[in-house]
Structure 1
Amino acid sequence: MSTKTVPGNYFEDFSVGQEIRHATPRTVTEGDVALYTALYGSRFAATSAATFAEAIGFAAPPVDSLLAFHLVFGKSVPDISLNAVANLGYAGGRFGAPLVVGDTVLTTSTVIGLKENSNGRTGVVYVNSVGVNQRGEMVVDYVRWVMVHKKDPASPAPETVVPELPGAVAAEDLVVPFALTGRDYDTVLAGSPFLWDDYEVGEQIDHVDGMTIEESEHMLATRLYQNTAKVHFNQHAQAAAKIGRRLIYGGHIISLARALSFNGLANGQMIAAINAGAHANPTFAGDTIYAWSEVLERLELPGRTDVGVLRLRRVETQDAPRAEFPGKDGDGTYLPQVVLDLDYTVLMPRRG
């Protein structure tokens, strides 16, 4: 048989310090933006209307922060997680130059940790992935960890290296790509009268609405991001592995809940950081996703009085539509209805 095809990396193919330049640069088109909107129905004004974006100081209308994240993430999948069991979590994610239509994004990943699991058949790979635009400007920089199959369970375990994961991104390290000084911010067009000043630490927000996942939408989404992981695409492989069903890409859940969060956080125009996140339980087609948020911190930006920072915890649940849902039981274990626990930061206008 020909050896020209690529089976993807297995756990034993990775080494700490390994740098991988990922193939297939991606130029963002109007079609990408339209399809993303069709998939999630996001209503944030800055990414929905060029006129609104320009009115608040963007040089060009930005694409949704998470579309940028998914395009960067998708580049890494054929090399990092084609043979994954599941993506497990994120840390230290920071958004940089806003991605706009016409920009081309490229991704490079560095392996920063390895840990074989006790079953000897899988291991966890920690990577730092960085996406840049055609000018070399950072678009997204984040750490993730993913459980990957071993090709040969008998192969020796590598030295365990578990990296110290970065904590929440500090306010002074955030990139703020728009400015409101001297500009009128239209809360009616934005969809909510509540600005940064109106939120309190500890406040919980039930985003109320639910969205049911359809198999066709998930498949379109993973293709849009060129995410080739077998667990999302290959029903035959999932059946052979006795899993039975294709898993929904975790990023699909993040985008669904971001769209739902408009109801309560409509003025959180841009995501500035993904501080931490855990995929607590798998999601499948037919599940209905609900979300609620808790305000963890309300921070000022150094030298800025026009925009503030809200650090949020957002819990996404499957078929569990209530804000008081705790997420974890008494011993700290995630309840089965919790599919994602995400710590992230948004930029929100302040009152003048």
Structure 2
Amino acid sequence: MSKTNRGRFFEDYQLGEVLHHAVPRTVGEGERALYHALYPARHALYSADSFAQSCGLKSSPLDDMIAFHIVFGKTVPDVSLNAVANLGYAQGRWLTPVWPGDTLRAESEVIGLKQNSNGKTGVVWVRTTGLNQHNEKVLEYVRWVMVRKGDLDAAAPQTTVPDLPDALTVNQLKVPEGLIFSDYDFAQAGEPHRWGDYELGEKIDHVDGVTVEEAEHMIATRLWQNTAKVHFDTSARPDGSRLIYGGHVISMARALSFNGLANAQMIVGLNGGAHANPCLSGDTIRAWTEVLDKAETAAPGVGAIRLRLVATKGGAPFELRDEEGKYRPEVLLDLDYWALMPR
């Protein structure tokens, strides 16, 4: 009997099964330091205890995307080790801040299966939950992945595609306990623009760009313990390249969005997302944002803003799809999220 893990193939998943992912991880200031070294992350709430305390928190939590990457990485050996591509996200909610010293683990439920017409691959939908050492939910999200079949003669499962709403409502968002922006220091945050300064439909070019190198993406993917073959093994892709982890693109684009959205301090909801085209070493990531919606929250001084964050590897800003409605070839990421901002 083999003692090694070849990873799951499409025919290995069953609707409704729960996957308990291995290796819990205790996180600390080291993860924060490495995250801020890998990305130009500068949001004040995640950079200084004093700033976070002025906003009603006990100290500075770890960046939202650190929690996302760690929980995501836990799922890879069971969900996407044999994936062709990670296709999209929906219904993501950050429920409890992650503090240095917390221990994170993850579990996923299979909520959808659909074999592709070529008979060689299929799409698997999972709802993943990240939990801390107190069994509190830290975050949850749905993602769907295209996975290879190991046995091409295996029977196709009954097609089940989950019904996923286009967006979370503001009532579904969780504002961290104690968070207030009524005494917010705009000078320390880096920009004067508050919730009321943004208009629906407004588009922001974040101006800056970062060229992605093999070394940094390999460090990042190892940091999150993401073992997907396409990120490490050059024989896993027909062109012999290593695919840049999609989360690396998300974090880079989020960090670039600081220039224009420095006060979009906390990500609390992920409405949807697509990795539109592959990102490879040598690509220069740029980003722009469109304001989709705004809503008030019950927390003092705290507003919610819904943003579309688009990462590209070239082309003019604000161009997303071609005449046929397909993503333009230079578009890497299309991410729809809710953030918290001072009103």
- TM-score, length-scaled by structure 1: 0.95
CA distance in 2, matches of 1:96, 1:127: 18
Match of 2:104 in 1: 105
Task: Say yes or no: does 1:330 pair with 2:313.
Answer: no
Match of 1:318 in 2: 313
Give unmatched runs, 5+ long, in structure 2: none
Task: Say yes or no: does 1:251 pair with 2:250.
Answer: no
CA distance in 1, matches of 2:188, 2:317: 27
Deviations 1:180-209 (A, max 9, x none): 26x521101101000101100000000000
**Cα contact 1:179–1:306 (8 A) shared by 2:** no
**Cα contact 1:121–1:149 (8 A) shared by 2:** yes
Q: How big is the shift at 1:305?
A: 4.3
**Cα contact 2:304–2:338 (8 A) shared by 1:** yes
CA distance in 1, matches of 2:172, 2:155: 40
Match of 2:283 in 1: 287
CA distance in 1, matches of 2:191, 2:305: 16
Match of 1:349 in 2: 342
Q: What are the equivalent positions in structure 2 for 1:30-179 lying under 5 Å apart?
A: 30-177=29-176, 178-179=178-179
CA distance in 1, matches of 2:299, 2:82: 45
CA distance in 1, matches of 2:299, 2:196: 14
**Cα contact 1:83–1:149 (8 A) shared by 2:** yes
Match of 2:203 in 1: 204
CA distance in 1, matches of 2:83, 2:67: 22
Q: How big is the shift at 1:29?
A: 1.6
Q: How big is the shift at 1:244?
A: 2.0
Partner SS for 2:110: strand
CA distance in 1, matches of 2:304, 2:88: 23
CA distance in 2, matches of 1:31, 1:60: 16
CA distance in 1, matches of 2:284, 2:212: 6
Partner SS for 1:36: helix
Q: How big is the shift at 1:165?
A: 1.3
1:6 maps to a residue whose letter is N
**Cα contact 1:297–1:312 (8 A) shared by 2:** yes
Q: How big is the shift at 1:136?
A: 1.3
CA distance in 1, matches of 2:107, 2:93: 15
Q: How big is the shift at 1:255?
A: 0.1
2:250 maps to a residue whose letter is I
CA distance in 1, matches of 2:108, 2:166: 19
Give unmatched runs, 5+ long, in structure 1: none
C-alpha RMSD over aligned residues: 1.1
Deviations 1:289-333 (A, max 9, x none): 1110000001111x334100100111111123x433x21011211
CA distance in 2, matches of 1:85, 1:337: 20
Task: Say yes or no: does 1:263 pair with 2:259.
Answer: yes
Match of 2:272 in 1: 276
How many residue pairs align between the two structures?
A: 342
Q: What are the equivalent positions in structure 2 for 1:217-256 lying under 5 Å apart?
A: 217-238=216-237, 242-256=238-252
Partner SS for 1:222: helix
Partner SS for 1:9: coil
Moved over 2 A (4+): 178-181
CA distance in 2, matches of 1:37, 1:193: 23
Which of 316, 333, 336 aligns to 1:340? It is 333
Q: How big is the shift at 1:60?
A: 2.6
Deviations 1:16-37 (A, max 9, x none): 1010000000111211111011
Identity, % of aligned pairs?
Answer: 57
CA distance in 2, matches of 1:343, 1:30: 28
Q: How big is the shift at 1:156?
A: 1.3
Match of 1:185 in 2: 184
CA distance in 2, matches of 1:46, 1:305: 16
CA distance in 1, matches of 2:130, 2:185: 32
CA distance in 1, matches of 2:256, 2:215: 20
Partner SS for 1:207: strand
